[in-house]
Amino acid sequence: MNRIHALIAEDEPVLAFMLQQALQRLWPELQVVGIAANGVEAVSEALAQRPDILFLDIKMPGKSGIEAAQELAEDWPDDRPFPLVVFVTAYDEYALQAFEQAAADYVLKPVSDERLGKTVARLRARLARHAERDQALEQIVGQLRTLVPLPRASARLELVRAAVGNQVRLIPVGEVQYFEATDKYVNVVSTEGEALIRTPLRELLPQLDPDCFWQIHRGTVVNLKFVEAAVRDDSGKIALRLRGRQQTLPVSRVYAHLFRQM
């Protein structure tokens, strides 16, 4: 039987150690392959180690456990099953919400052997049913976005002030085909060309009309008015074809459910 591997992401070292010790008591065959101290480390370690199970603290520096899970869902290799996710939290409302949105399970801090034992039993059962793991991935990636709260905007954005060379252009939002995050800027692609802004996508999204602008990747927001078709390739990946453009925009697994009927 193959060894089951787990990764713990917890920014409080004492709590991480206690969880690891409890897992060793309750599930001796489980191998903890690493402990990440923040959400950024959780993503890089999970992609490197490719564990079967992720224990993710909800509140961590860098990225929350939910944001880390969302990023992993987008970047996870197609040839490996997505890990079962257990959210660890001190907040009941987060725990219940995460559980309802198809996480494998949740445990509350401080973690008790009795509650963790129930989680271990559920994980064992889920690991034994490989088909359900694939179904769980579809549920998880389709719902993670709703668990990440966005800041509220006071008004809808009508004009985008963007840099083009040494000039500042005023671009009507309705003419923007898509926004695409780069290393330090967001590229605004419109009918008139491309320009750069400094506003992060996370701050930009609440200012956009949700009926017109959809996030299709953690770094891409598209204007549906310019979407000609959603195309699925042989591997099941979806890309959007825009009117008047040759290149397509890839849709990550987190947002693929938005285009199932298209």
pLDDT tens readout for residues 135-152: 555 556 556 655 555 666
For the chain, give the percent of residues with pLDDT over 90: 52
3 state SS of 88: strand
For residue 236, tell me if it sits in a domain. yes
Q: Are residues 113 and 241 in the same domain?
A: no
Tell whether 95 is covered by a domain: yes
For residue 51, give the DSSP letter. Answer: -
Q: Is the CA virtual torsion 75, 80, 33, 4 positive or negative?
A: positive
Domain holding 26, by residue range, is: 5-147
Same domain assignment for residues 65 and 96: yes
Of 116, 147, 178, the position where a domain reaches its end is: 147
What CATH number does residue 164 fall under?
Answer: 2.40.50.1020
In this predicted model, what pLDDT tens digit does every residue of 51-88 receive, in sequence order? Answer: 999 999 989 999 888 889 888 988 888 788 889 989 88
Is the pLDDT confidence value at 40 over 90? yes
DSSP 212-235: TEEEEETTEEEEGGGEEEEEE-TT
Q: What is the pTM of this model?
A: 0.75
3-class DSSP state for residue 37? coil
Is residue 95 within 8 A of residue 106, CB to CB? The reply is yes
Number of domains the chain is built from:
2
Mark whether 60 and 188 lie in a shared domain: no
